[in-house]
Structure 1
C-alpha cells in the first residue's frame, strides 16, 4: 500500500467509541480528551435519534449525564459544538477510508477499484449525518472554512493514492483530484437521497476515476 498522509485526525482522536462504551462513560470521571470524545459521540446520538434542532448544549449535558459547565467548557457555544461534530463525522469517514485502503492491491486496476469502493462506502455511511450537521450550520462562516479544509484533506488522499499511476503531477494532479472528490461526494449524496444504489455509485465512480487518470 502506498503511504497515505495522516489527515483528518481532528484534535488527535478518531470517532471509534461504540454506543455501549459511550453509555458506560456517562457519569464517570474521564480525562478531558476522553470526555470530549464521549460528548461528541453523545451529540451524534442526539442527531440520529432526535434531530439537529434538539442538539443544544443543555440537552447534551443531560444526555451525557454531566453538568452544563462541562459541556460549555469543551465547546463554548452550540455553533462550536456543531463545528467540532462536523469535523468528527468527517474524521470517521477518513479513518475508515484509510483503513480500507491499507489492504488495497498495488496495481492500477486494483487500486482504482479499491479507491472507488472505499470512498463511496465510507462517505455514504455517514453522509446523512454530515449533511444534517452542515445544514444546522447553514450560513456560518466557520462551516465554509472547515468544509474547505476537509475537502482539501480528501484531495490530498486522492493525490497520494493515485500518484503512482497518474502522469499528471503538481497542480494538475491536484486539480484532477479536486474534480474526482467532488464527483465522489455527489455520488454519495445521491445514495442518501435514494437516487442511486451503493453498487451503482461505486461502479460509476470507478469508471470516472479510470477514465480520468491518464
Structure 2
C-alpha cells in the first residue's frame, strides 16, 4: 500500500496515519510497526533495494560470459530494475534525504551493490582488487545517475543501458590503477 501511495500521491503524502487509513488498519498498528515516518520510509527503501538486488542477481545467474556479455547483462538489468520500480526507489530516497539514519542505510546498501559489481566483474578484470573496488563504486554511481536521467525522460532505456555497458567495459579495459 505504501508504494501505491507514493505512486499515486507522491512520497510527501506517505505518513503513518495516511498509510493506516488507506490500508484499513488503526493508526496505532502502523505506529507500532514502523514507529516513525522515517522508519516506514527506511523499511520501504530496504525492500525496494532488496528487489533490485534480487533482479540483478537473477539476470547474472546464467553461465560465465565474455566481458562484453557480462557488462551488457549487468547494465541492462540495472537500468531495467530502475525502470520497473517507476521512480519509487528514488522518491523514497529523496524523502529520506538529510535523515541521519538514512546515511547509514545508504552506505550499507551501496556496499552491497559494490560487492555485487566487484564479484561479477572480477573474472573479467586485470585490475588489482582495491582498484576494481574503487572502479565499482564509480560504476554504481554512474548506474544511478543514468537511471535518474532515464526516469526523467532525458534518455531511453536502451541509451541508458548501452551507455552504462560502455562505461563498465571501458573501466575494465583501462590500464591498471594504483
Same fold (TM over 0.5): yes
1:91 to 38, 41, 50: 50
Q: CA–CA distance in 2 between the matches of 1:166 and 1:46?
A: 43
Q: Unmatched 5+ residue regions in structure 2?
A: 174-178
1:159 to 93, 103, 118: 118
The 5-angstrom pairing of residues 1-214 of structure 1 reads 42-103=1-62, 105-126=64-85, 128-214=87-173
Q: In structure 2, the residue corresponding to 1:204 is in which secondary structure?
A: helix
What is the aligned length?
173
Deviates more, 1:125-134 or 1:75-84: 125-134
When the two structures are superposed, what TM-score results if normalisation uses the length of structure 1? 0.76
Q: CA–CA distance in 1 between the matches of 2:63 and 2:2?
A: 33
Q: Unmatched 5+ residue regions in structure 1?
A: 1-41
Q: CA deviation at 1:69?
A: 2.0
CA root-mean-square deviation: 1.5
Runs (4+) off by over 4 Å:
none
Distance 1:104 1:199, change over 3 A: farther
Q: CA–CA distance in 2 between the matches of 1:76 and 1:96?
A: 30
Q: What whole-Å deviation, never above 9, does each CA across 1:68-110 have from its counterpart, x for those lacking one? A: 2221121101111111111111111111111111136522222
Q: CA–CA distance in 2 between the matches of 1:71 and 1:169?
A: 48
